[in-house]
Amino acid sequence: MDNRVYIFDTTLRDGEQSPGATMNLHEKLRLAEQLEKLGVDCIEAGFPASSQGDFDSVKAIAEKVKTCQVAGLARCMEQDITRTWEAIKNANHPRIHTFLATSPIHMQYKLRKEPQEVLAMIEKGVKLARSLCPVVEFSAEDASRSDKDFLVQVATTAINAGATVINLPDTVGYAIPSDYAKLIEYMIKNCPVSDKAIFSVHCHDDLGLSVSNTLAALGAGARQAEVTLCGIGERAGNTALEEVVMALNVRRDLFHLETNIVKEQLFPSCRLLSMIIGKPIPANKAVIGGNAFAHESGIHQDGMLKNRETYEIMTPQSIGRTSSDIVIGKHSGRNAVRTRLEELGYHLNDDQVNAVFLAMKTLADKKARIHDEDLEALVFSEVYRMRIPDRFHLSNVAVQTSMGSSMPATAAVVLQDREKEVRLAGFGTGPIDAAFNVISQLCGTKAELEKFSINAITGGTDAQGEVSVHLRDGEYTATGRGSDLDIIVASAKAYIDALNRLEHKEKDVISYKQNPTE
């Protein structure tokens, strides 16, 4: 059996369905560029038939990505399939990914179809997809709760109709590793044309078993893993790409399986996603968390000093958490900054390096040492956030509170509203609440704050704070991010960023022809 495992990344489609993980077109293109650098075999760019915005995003990614496949998701219906083909037809390596539910509960209550009707729909849909696209994947939605003998008919029908990849997803995170492995084995053994297709798995984490189920399936003969960076996705999330890849790498003695992933790009990829969606990587997150290579116990520290392998089964460098002898600070030059950025995987033009360099100088006046995470935050704020011109810009914010007093906090804010400077002072129950109240009045918004989170970018008392806010204004939602040494300023930046994003959404401004690195 072939020992090659194909990595199908659905961060931009299923991952984006995670609450609060919405990305704009500019951000999707940047992440797609990084996924290509990471070495994934296929990028599922979105669901073109779901909206015009998704169609435009998939089309732009299909035209941008050169080396890996680009897939668009489609229900097993003619209008979805033709719409998807329109979005991906200009890709160097296009793939149509079509799906239909196959479990009794889905067929009865969602589709209201009999099994034979479902088989007929699969045959018709896959034939149409294959007539348009050379690579077609069919997914049997809710396969883990489907009758296995019916699944054999489903896979046989899809393969005979032209599908070259058969996905057997654990759509609702119901599977247990041992049973899921048996299902994969049964399918490969009993489908008479199983040798004509790659069997794939897509697992959700509702019971915390998505990675375990994926590894069990790969051990049983599946050869494609459908995953997302950091495991983001609907409900409890998807299978984490970095965990599967490193499990196969560390335990190659057990699996004897290989991927095409550039492992040193794992941490940079996950960190980029974290900055884009405004969700910090949990410290205890496997493989990439801040504590993954931290040792506090004296016994562990002693073992590490004698031999790192006593308490580390992989190195920080193996996933891209490199250390550097170059210390970036206020005396550093542009070349030092450029070199460190390139070591971190950011290849910027002269203007972009200069923007980061000037921002670094300003930051270095406030803290002694600039960490890698600080540089990455500056790249994100000074380079990758230069998208559609924002309406609002923060000029200044000042707050005042009285310790031990019943007096409310006060905030004074100065904003640029396009060409006009506006300023106002007001009150709140605390300094951040006061700043948000004043900003909302200046901007004339009634958006509601749904979520607010603060994360330290690095350790130390001089660490930059990274703030994420999630706003809702009627049917529109947006997540804003901001970072600064002053947490009040970071919060104000994040709030204004979210308001600008709401403004863009309401105007439905999209232009995929923009250069994503400008």
**Around Cβ 475, how many Cβ atoms within 10 Å?**
7
H/E stretch holding 509 reads none
Work out the widest C-alpha separation in the chain, in whole angstroms.
78
Classified as helix, coil or strand, 80 is: helix
Across 317-322, average pLDDT: 85
Instruction: Say if residue 480's pLDDT is above 80.
Output: yes
Nearest residue to 514 (alpha-carbon basis) of 66, 7, 25: 25
- 370-387: per-residue pLDDT in tens? 777 788 888 877 776 545
**pLDDT class of 84 with cuts at 50, 70, 90:** very high
Confidence of residue 513 (pLDDT cuts 50, 70, 90): very low
Q: Tell me if residue 399 falls in helix, strand or coil.
A: strand
What average pLDDT does this structure show over 265-280? 90
Classified as helix, coil or strand, 170 is: strand
More confident residue, 154 or 507: 154
DSSP 12-70: TTTGGGSTT----HHHHHHHHHHHHHHT-SEEEEE-GGG-HHHHHHHHHHHHH--SSEE
- Res 301: pLDDT: 64
SS3 347: coil
The tokens describing 293, both together, are 């290579």
Q: Which residue has the higher pLDDT, 419 or 222?
A: 222
The pLDDT mean for the chain works out to: 89
pTM of the model: 0.81
Tell me how far apart the alpha carbons of residues 377 and 468 are, in angstroms, rounded to a whole number. Answer: 13
The dihedrals phi and psi of 98, each to the nearest 5 degrees, come to -110, 150
Q: Using the 8-state DSSP alphabet, how is residue 282 labeled?
A: P
- Cα four-point dihedral sign 403, 406, 407, 413: positive
Report residue 499 as tokens.
């308001």
Q: Is the pLDDT of residue 153 over 90?
A: yes
| pLDDT tier for residue 22 given thresholds of 50, 70 and 90 | confident
Residues with Cβ within 8 Å of residue 459, at least 6 apart in sequence = none
Cα–Cα distance, 141 to 76 (Å, whole number): 11
- Report the chain's C-alpha Rg in angstroms: 25
Query: Residue 457: what residue type?
Result: I
Question: How far is Cα 360 from Cα 382, in angstroms, rounded to an integer?
Answer: 10
Q: What single letter denotes the amino acid at residue 469?
A: V
Residue 144: per-residue pLDDT? 98
Closest alpha carbon to 165 in 142, 136, 206: 136
Give the pLDDT confidence score for residue 363 in this predicted structure.
Answer: 85
Contact 222, 8 (CB under 8 A): no
**Count of CA atoms in the C-beta half-sphere (13 A) of 155:** 30
- Residue 275's pLDDT is 84
Q: 37 Cβ partners below 8 Å, 6+ apart?
A: 262, 265, 269, 345
Whether 511 shows a pLDDT value over 50: the answer reads no
**pLDDT (mean) for 239-247:** 98
- Number of other CB atoms surrounding residue 434 within 10 Å: 25
Taking the CB of residue 471, how many other CB atoms lie within 10 A of it? 25
Residue 506 has a pLDDT of 58
Residue count of the chain: 518
> Quick one: pLDDT at residue 436?
96
| Closest-CA residue to 9 (of 95, 121, 81) | 95
Residue by residue, DSSP assigns 213-280 as HHHHHHHTT--EEEEBGGG--STT-B-BHHHHHHHHHHTHHHH--B----GGGHHHHHHHHHHHHT-P
**Nearest Cα residue to 337 out of 382, 389, 271, 280:** 382
Tokens of 336: 């030092």
Confidence class of residue 220 from pLDDT cuts 50, 70 and 90?
very high
The predicted-structure confidence for 421-443, as pLDDT tens digits, reads as follows: 999 999 999 999 999 999 999 99
Which has more confidence, 457 or 318? 318
Distances, alpha carbon 337 to alpha carbons 329, 346, 360, in Å: 9, 11, 9
Q: How much is the average pLDDT of 190-219?
A: 98
> Once rounded to an integer, what is the mean pLDDT over residues 160-183?
98
Taking the C-alpha atoms of residue 158 and residue 258, their distance in angstroms, rounded to an integer, is: 27
Identify the three-state secondary structure at position 397. strand
Give residue 72's pLDDT band: very low, low, confident or very high (50, 70, 90). very high
Specify the 3-state DSSP secondary structure of 197.
coil
Q: State the DSSP H helix or E strand holding residue 207, giving kind and residue range, or none if neither.
A: none
SS3 assignment, position 101 = strand
**pLDDT value, residue 466:** 86
What pLDDT does 173 receive? Answer: 97
Are 230 and 201 in contact by the 8 Å Cβ rule? The answer is no
State pLDDT tens for residues 35-61. 999 999 999 999 999 999 899 999 999
- 508 vs 163: CA distance, rounded Å: 36
Q: Is the dihedral of CA 12, 13, 15, 18 positive or negative?
A: positive
Mean pLDDT of 134-143: 98
